[in-house]
Structure 1
Amino acid sequence: MPGAKVSHIIALTTLLLSSLLLKTTAQQDTCSIASLPNPIAQQYADTPTGTLNATLAIVPISLATARDIIPSRFAILENAYRALLPEFPADMYPVLMQAGLDHDIQLAAYNISVPDFQRFGWSFPFIDLLGDGFSSFTWAPAQMISADNQMAINGSRDYGTTVYATEFQPGCNSYEQLQGSSTYFRGQATDNSGIYAKLEFSPLSLGTSNPFPVDFYQNVTNQPIFGDGTRCDRQIRLFNSTLNQGEYAPVPVKGTISSNLEPLGGEGLGDVFGLLIDTPFIEYNGLDCASLKGYQGTGSGD
């Protein structure tokens, strides 16, 4: 993303020039990574690709709070998300939380790979960045990224996103199993900011419905991303992949998020609905935001 989406990965120029691309971290040498390999690296060999194995969750906040948080120069396209979620409560806004592992990132045509990294952040979708009353963008103002991947940190900062270098638990996966089928994911910033994130989610019990269908997550994770609005990141997340079908199908979950990462603060962090899902992605970095005019957030991501 600049929030992510890789959101933040790394400008193509940086990918080609940095010697860091040819390294793997010591942590990855000693850690057992559960995520599956990147299945599209050769198919899109001239473009950065990878996988994002993540917990996604929707955190409803009041529209008034959203309006206070989101820069006043940007309108919120309320009609766009209500068309997708007609039962969503009135006067509320859906914040997206993403936490997980960016894995097996490659620029295959050049035999280049990027070390895995973890991240946590809030994303604010359905933003009218271009002022056309139509095109949906996602604002990613701040996130936490693995402290040992300076490249990913710098890539996110290039979009104007505030980034906190972070130590995560578990060390090299998208989440860890607790007793039973619950999962957890935690992060603590390595500076003196005190920024932290803690997640714990469990699969929905039989008969409990998820108010946010997979199509909605597909929509919001495929919106172009910006930080300060000078450049945009387009990350195409594939929801029709072998990584998220059959035995690897998305798992609807419900749980709690505790974090003081700005700008959300502590509102709306109680029980929230989410999804465990692994998606391949194709990344287009450093784009002119105006070139993405017309996006409604309805793309398939395929």
Structure 2
Amino acid sequence: MPFKHPLLQVTAVVLIVLLSALLNLGRSKAVPQSICTSYDHPNPLAVMFPNNATGVLNATLVIIPISLDVARRLIPPQYRILEGAYRHLLPEFPQGMYPVLVQAAHDHDIQLRAYGITLDDFSRVGFEFPFLDLLGDGYSSFRWAPAQLISATNTIAVEGSKAYGTIVSPAEYEPLCDAYHALANGATYFKGSSLTSSDFVELEMAQLPRSVLNPYPLELFRNITNQPTFANATTCDNMIRMFHTSMSVGEFAPVSVRGRVRAKTFPFEGAQKEWSNVYGVQVATPFVENNYLDCQSMQGYDGSGGPEGSLSAI
């Protein structure tokens, strides 16, 4: 799998080193990483890709269908929605509707191995808008991620996201060190709450019975999460999520879920919103990341997340 941006990777490394100074200055106010015990798997890619940022992302990914009219009001008007692209993956998706992604995730064991840099774990959550024609070419799909709630204890993650133009709220999380925790009723729970506003995102999801089919195939989530991401479009993030490794097979295979999402955060303005009976998946994936790229360089990019069976020994 090629990674074609070594100079930009170095630029990202320099930025991270500078941000490390901010983290060290604020560490006395942070919750020490040592109090956390995560159940996430260790990063299997750091040795294979030492010059890239690598890590593990354990996430709940949920699709919220909204009307195309609402989507066009929320998404900046210069970015056309590539409806044909998502209908190719979801031919039965309701007419006049658009799939918003909620990503509630825990970033774990992040490394830039060649530079001896590691980052503390952190959590993040936000609404993301895929299948957008950022470049105006009519076919390259990009994902707009305008706002995130990010663990306040990780200054590097907060400032690194802001560098894309993202609206970032330093937040506290339940659970503190994992992607979700189990409730007494068997469901899983995840909540991020801003420390600087009333914004929050909360998910309560239950595993689907075998008799119920998830309307969204894993390929949809693989496609969306591998689309280049942007906020204000000055630069783009290229996170390559690998869905076909030993981290997501057997007892660790993706779990189809259904439940509810409650939120009060950008770009859904006003009072809190709630979406019930929404479907998604819970899955852990290793990733390789190229930061702060020229968005034009991602034209035609097909973020496959690795071919079927690739890196199966990881």
TM over 0.5: yes
The residue type paired with residue 286 of structure 1 is Y
Match of 1:195 in 2: 199
* Residue 300 (structure 1) shift: 3.5
Distance in structure 2 (CA, Å) of the matches to 1:83 and 1:65? 21
Aligned with 2:249 (options 239, 245, 256):
245
Match of 1:261 in 2: 265
The residue type paired with residue 264 of structure 1 is F
Q: How does the TM-score come out when normalised to structure 2?
A: 0.88
Match of 2:310 in 1: none
Matches within 5 A, 1:1-302: 11-19=12-20, 26-191=31-196, 193-265=197-269, 269-295=275-301, 299-301=304-306
Equivalent residue of 2:211, what SS?
coil
* Residue 18 (structure 1) shift: 4.2
**Residues 267/259 of structure 1: CA separation in 2 closer, same or farther (3 Å cut):** closer
Distance in structure 2 (CA, Å) of the matches to 1:104 and 1:71? 34
Single out whichever of 152-161 and 178-187 deviates more from structure 2.
178-187
The residue type paired with residue 14 of structure 1 is L
Match of 1:3 in 2: none
Distance in structure 2 (CA, Å) of the matches to 1:268 and 1:128? 28
Residue pair 2:68, 2:97 contacting (<8 A) in 1 also: yes
The residue type paired with residue 121 of structure 1 is G
Identity %: 47
Equivalent residue of 1:29, what SS?
helix
The residue type paired with residue 212 of structure 1 is Y
Residue pair 2:125, 2:149 contacting (<8 A) in 1 also: yes
**Residues 21/177 of structure 1: CA separation in 2 closer, same or farther (3 Å cut):** farther
Residue pair 2:264, 2:273 contacting (<8 A) in 1 also: no
Residue pair 1:161, 1:227 contacting (<8 A) in 2 also: yes
Flag structure 2 segments of 5+ consecutive residues without an equivalent: 1-10, 308-314
Structure 1 runs of 4+ off > 4 angstroms? 20-25, 265-268
Flag structure 1 segments of 5+ consecutive residues without an equivalent: 1-9
Q: How does the TM-score come out when normalised to structure 1?
A: 0.92
Distance in structure 2 (CA, Å) of the matches to 1:285 and 1:19? 16
* Residue 276 (structure 1) shift: 0.6
Q: How many residues align?
A: 291
Residue pair 1:106, 1:112 contacting (<8 A) in 2 also: yes
Q: Could you report, residue by residue, the CA deviation over 1:120-141 in whole angstroms, capped at 9, with x for unpaired residues? A: 1011000000000010000011
The residue type paired with residue 91 of structure 1 is G
* Residue 11 (structure 1) shift: 2.9
**Residues 83/115 of structure 1: CA separation in 2 closer, same or farther (3 Å cut):** same
Equivalent residue of 2:296, what SS?
helix
Distance in structure 1 (CA, Å) of the matches to 2:237 and 2:36? 30
Distance in structure 1 (CA, Å) of the matches to 2:21 and 2:280? 34
Equivalent residue of 1:283, what SS?
strand
The residue type paired with residue 135 of structure 1 is S
**Residues 267/170 of structure 1: CA separation in 2 closer, same or farther (3 Å cut):** closer
Residue pair 2:20, 2:156 contacting (<8 A) in 1 also: no
